[in-house]
Structure 1
Amino acid sequence: MKVGFIGLGTMGGNAAKNIIRAGFETFVFDLRREAATDHLSMGANWVDSPREMISHVDCVVSMVFGPPHLDAVLNGSEGLLSGDCRGKLWIDMTTSSPRFMRDLIKPFVEAGGRPIDAPVTGSVDAAIRGDMPMFVGGEDEDVEAARPVIEAMGELRKVGKYGTGYVAKLVNNQLWKVHAAAIGEAMVCAKQAGLEPDVWWEVMKGGAADSFVMQHDVPSIFAGHYDPSFPLKLCLKDLGLIKELLEDTGTRSELLDACHVRFREASDRYGPDAGEMTVCKVVEDDAGVELRVEGDWMAPWLVTHQAAE
């Protein structure tokens, strides 16, 4: 199977490297050719457009910023639909709108394409290692055909038909963002009441308060970088998509709305490129405390793949 990868950003660039490592003949495209430098040195082939890519490959993988960028990948003047889509798999790992994607994908299916949505969770270190969980939606036979490609990048978690992967990712991020915002309040309150952040963290883990955010993201607060590998502008994009899904399903959203306000406040204060956990820095700064903890806190983006060690 020949594989193409569109979107070589922080997560996508590392996922594409794992496809190359798995031995697939790989073709890559990004709006910035320099983003492909490592991939080309690893043996990947460059193409100048999605249209050119689909003429070379059996399976296209994409991971771009959001819905408008997926529209361009498919419907642009050099998009996938301007090429021959018959029998081709398209695995999209973008965090996107289920409503938007159901409409967007129709002409691809009519052209003979086989779509799969497989947005991911975890962080950049999971993308580097190749073990990121992937919420996969699609026809069973298409998912099985794509399994070797998906499993080269992470863990396949089948959730249903096409579109359900996007739903799973959004509600996953709903809980992630709410917990991230709440952690800032809890940590500052604990410190103000006499419980030091490192002690607080150790006793919270493994109990009812535990989560991926608790285990993985709190060290970025201790280190003071707040994990810029996932910036606030992506958080706000995701929160907008989550709000759309809640509205589409008629679900109450008071907690999500309050979380959204806090993330907008963080972006206004520290800029859209600041790290996701600066949502906690808002509470720190307002209280006049710091949550720094001395230690060798490994930044997620410095993790290496075992093949590169």
Structure 2
Amino acid sequence: MCQRLVKAGYPVTAFDLNAAALERVAAAGAVAASSAADCAARADVFLTSLPRPDHVEAVMAGDSGALKSLKPGSLWIDLTTNRNELVFRLAAEAPEGVKIVDSPVTGAVDGARNGKLTLFAGGDQASFERAAPVLGHLGMVIHCGALGTGNVVKLVTNQLWFIAAAAIGEGFATGLANGVELGTLWHAIQNSVGDSFVVRHDAPSIFAGHYDPSFSLDLCLKDLRLIQELNRNVRAALPMTTAAEGAFALAASRYGAQAAELHVARRIEDDAGLSMRFEGDWVPPWEQ
């Protein structure tokens, strides 16, 4: 995402705890900052993209945090899939004149590289209109409503993704265990009501046997916990979401929290004694 903004012609200042990542964007034309707070102090538009809400709090909050370093009139866009309680608290603590937009993204590494992410933006109309031209270089921008609604929409899309991802392995296992070749099953699914973006994007990672390490089981479970927090407002049982959380938790207990997300399907392979390897030109998503 940083590199796309550089290529779009913006003067970009960047910071990352990962020195190698920072070196790569600096080589691409960004200016390396010494800290997140240093980055914020230089910015008219400040973007954060972090794995978890506690990382956002560590970067932004406190007297030495990046939030206090933002200039009056600047805009903070948080691309993290975040907890709204934290977003609202930080918004209340922001310096006078600083505006905030929550805009979590979906589309994986390939979407970031190719500018084909979908970004779910929450914030007042004026702040959204200021953010949209910048975010437009990263992909399709959808204004979801007031501050916090971007996170809600992103988590709903992940809710549906995790349910579908947990089901893929079950469907493949059912077909294989009952005598259907995986290639035949794959062709039939793509040309039936079983087809979906999740099937087409994720199944090749199962076929290739790498299970897509660009997103970990730990991050899946983090988002599922945030989804369950939102689900408390529904006041009805949501058994499919609960079942998906259980499936990912079982995979994490078996393979470790940092294992690739689609180990949720590998667990079924291993328990059932089945192989979901399927020969094909399966280019990893992070290389597309």
Deviations 1:72-119 (CA, angstroms, capped at 9, x unpaired): 2221443223324311111111111123322232112x5221111111
Greater shift in the superposed pair: 261-270 or 250-259:
250-259
Q: State the alpha-carbon separation in 2 of the partners of residues 21 and 85 from structure 1.
A: 25
In structure 2, distance between residues paired with 1:206 and 1:71? 45
Matches within 5 A, 1:161-180: 161-180=146-165
1:49 positional shift = 2.2
Secondary structure of the residue aligned to 1:214 is helix
Distance in 1 (CA, whole Å) between partners of 2:180 and 2:212 is 24
The verdict on how the C-alpha distance between 1:37 and 1:105 changes in structure 2, with shifts beyond 3 A counting, is same
Asked if residue 293 in structure 1 is aligned to residue 278 in structure 2, the reply is yes
Q: Separation in 2 of the partners of 1:100 and 1:248?
A: 17
Equivalents in 2 of 1:176, 1:293: separation in Å? 22
SS in 2 for 1:116: strand
Q: Which residue of 2 aligns with 1:211?
A: 196
Following the alignment from structure 2 to structure 1, what is the Cα–Cα distance between the partners of residues 244 and 165? Answer: 9
Check if 1:83 corresponds to 2:56.
no
Identity %, equivalent residues: 40
Query: Which residues of 2 match residues 144-159 of structure 1 at below 5 A?
Result: 144-159=129-144
Partner of 1:282: 267
Tell me what 1:269 maps to. 254
- Equivalent position of 1:30 in the other structure: 16
User: Which residue number corresponds to residue 207 of structure 2?
Assistant: 222
Contact 1:97 1:245 in 2 (8 A): no
Superposed CA RMSD? 1.4
Q: Shift of the alpha carbon at 1:251? A: 4.0
The amino acid across from 1:27 in the alignment is: T
- In 1, Cα distance between equivalents of 2:233 and 2:71: 31
Q: Distance in 1 between matches of 2:116 and 2:5?
A: 12
Separation in 1 of the partners of 2:276 and 2:63?
50
Is structure 2 residue 54 aligned with structure 1 residue 62?
no
Q: Which residue of structure 2 aligns with residue 5 of structure 1?
A: none
3-state DSSP of counterpart to 1:25? coil
Give the Å deviation of 1:279: 0.2
Give distance in 2, aligned partners of 1:78 and 1:197: 55
1:120·1:134 contact (CA, 8 Å) conserved in 2?
A: yes
> Which residue, out of 34, 47, 60, partners 1:74?
60
Gaps of 5+ in 2: none
If the length of structure 1 is used for normalisation, what is the TM-score?
0.89
Shift of 1:223: 0.4
CA offsets 1:202-261 (integer angstroms, 9 cap, x no match): 211243222221111000011011000111111111111111111144342221111111
C-alpha distance in 2 between matches for 1:248 and 1:86: 35
Deviates more, 1:208-217 or 1:80-89: 80-89
Equivalent residue number for residue 242 of structure 1: 227
Question: Do structure 1's residue 201 and structure 2's residue 186 form an aligned pair?
Answer: yes
SS in 1 for 2:143: strand
What is the distance in 1 between the residues matched to 2:15 and 2:64?
12
SS of equivalent residue, structure 2 residue 259: coil
**Structure 1 residue 33 displacement after superposition:** 2.5
Q: Secondary structure at the match of 1:276?
A: coil
Deviations 1:36-87 (A, max 9, x none): 1110101111112232222211101111011111112221443223324311
Q: Aligned partners of 1:82, 1:171: CA distance in 2, in Å?
A: 31
Query: Match of 1:159, as an amino acid?
Result: C
Partner SS state of residue 64, structure 2: coil
Q: Give every structure 1 segment of 4 or more consecutive aligned residues whose post-TM-superposition deviation is greater than 6 Å.
A: none
Question: Greater shift after overlay, 182-191 or 207-216?
Answer: 207-216
Aligned-residue offset at 1:34:
2.4
Residue of structure 1 in register with 2:100 after alignment: 115
Gaps of 5+ in 1: 1-14, 304-309
**Paired amino acid for 2:32:** W
Specify the code of the residue in structure 2 equivalent to 1:144. Answer: E
Report the equivalent of 1:10.
Answer: none
Asked whether the 8 Å contact 1:243–1:253 carries over to 2, the reply is no
Q: Hey, what's the Cα distance between the residues in 1 that align with 2:249 and 2:231?
A: 19
**Aligned residue pairs, count:** 288
